[in-house]
Homo-oligomer: A and B are copies of this chain.
Amino acid sequence: MKEDEITGWFRQQRQLSSAAIPIGIGDDMAQIALDHGSSVLITTDMLLDGTHFDLATATLEQAGYKSMATSLSDCAAMATIPLAAVVAVGLPHGWGGRQLQELHAGVVRAADKYRCPLVGGDITSWKTDGRFAVCVSMLSKPGDKPPVRRSGAQAGDVICVTGSLGGSGRRRHLEFEPRVNEALQIVQIADLHAMMDISDGLSTDLNRICHQSRVGALVEASAVPMSQDAKAQTDPLDAALNEGEDFELLFTLSPEQWDTLHRRWDHPVPITRVGRITNTGRMEIKMPDGQVLDLKPGGYDHLAD
């Protein structure tokens, strides 16, 4: 069973009331309805030493920053406004105040920058062996527009990404800027049909949008924006398609809305059209030589062998 299969299984186990839980399992955040027409969204992200960062080379300050930035990227993925975060840690035996203060420095660097205060947490420790784990849970609220979901892509939509992709594992994954402000600006300019952040690689995350929207996609290989770190690799296209932790935005919108967005977007972070949504029901990629191949979800899967 892969990650998406078990997530689908979880979703099927309980029918959530759509009045109480407008958005449930399977999106970047869940939305919970409150009194007086208010609502709040929540995301949780567990980061593990040796998987999401390696404390042999990364600092705890960087781990703290990344843990917050990962959840902030989920807020961005739905174009919502971060409100507050809580941070729980599992500490290796013998760690104490010094390590927590270093971690805290990274947490508040992200918290201050994106105005998402740290409001609580939990400190626990492994009794014997056990490596460092940190879990950030974050609340956000809708902006002027409703949260953008994964399930609204339509055949004919333009597929866009922010920034450039691939090679994030070299260094960028520790210091990326979550696209919180960009997402809120994009939805001010254009109506989006679907959005998420690219955490497991473009091919895997686009497949999630296709699956949840019951559509297909055709990606233009020559249009995919490759990062400098991707270009330094032997197969830059593979890096841009399949490596994880870009934390860029992936979204779809009608060609007319794309024209508007393209014309009016003057932010330093570029937006690139990388393909279009199709009604084929499957993902394809058009190679620079004109050949059209199947595009397999090739990104990171925590449950893969």
Which residues of chain A have a CB within 8 Å of any CB of chain B?
1, 3, 5-7, 9-10, 13-14, 16, 20-21, 24-27, 29-30, 32, 34-38, 40, 42-48, 50-52, 83-84, 86-91, 95-97, 100-101, 104, 108, 111-112, 117-131, 133, 135, 137, 139, 141, 302-303
Contacts and interface: CB of A to CB of B under 8 A. Distances in A.
A177 to B, nearest CB: 21
Given A96-B1, A133-B133, A84 B30 contact: yes
Contacts of A40: 32, 34, 40, 139
23 contacts: A1-B100, A3-B123, A9-B97, A13-B108, A16-B117, A16-B119, A21-B117, A24-B120, A25-B121, A26-B120, A27-B120, A30-B84, A32-B83, A34-B34, A36-B37, A42-B139, A44-B86, A44-B88, A45-B88, A46-B88, A46-B122, A95-B303, A135-B137
Given A10-B121, A48-B126, A118-B14, A34 B141 contact: yes
Nearest to A4: B123
A17 to B, nearest CB: 8
B46 A90 contact: yes
A302 B125 contact: yes
A42 B124 contact: no
A109 to B, nearest CB: 12
Contacts of A9: 97, 101
Nearest to A71: B122
Given A34-B34, A96-B1, A100-B6, A119 B46 contact: no
A91 B302 contact: yes
A30 B86 contact: yes
B137 A96 contact: no
Residue with the greatest number of chain B CB neighbours at <10 A, chosen from A1, A108, A118, A135: A135
Q: Is the interface of A mostly helix, strand, loop or mixed?
A: mixed
Contacts of A104: 10, 13
A303 B42 contact: no
A48 B123 contact: no
Given A13-B104, A36-B37, A96-B1, A46 B89 contact: yes
B38 A137 contact: no
Contact of A130 (B29, B38, B130): B130
Residue with the greatest number of chain B CB neighbours at <10 A, chosen from A3, A32, A44, A97: A44
A207 to B, nearest CB: 17
A239 to B, nearest CB: 19
B86 A42 contact: yes
Residue with the greatest number of chain B CB neighbours at <10 A, chosen from A5, A100, A117, A119: A119
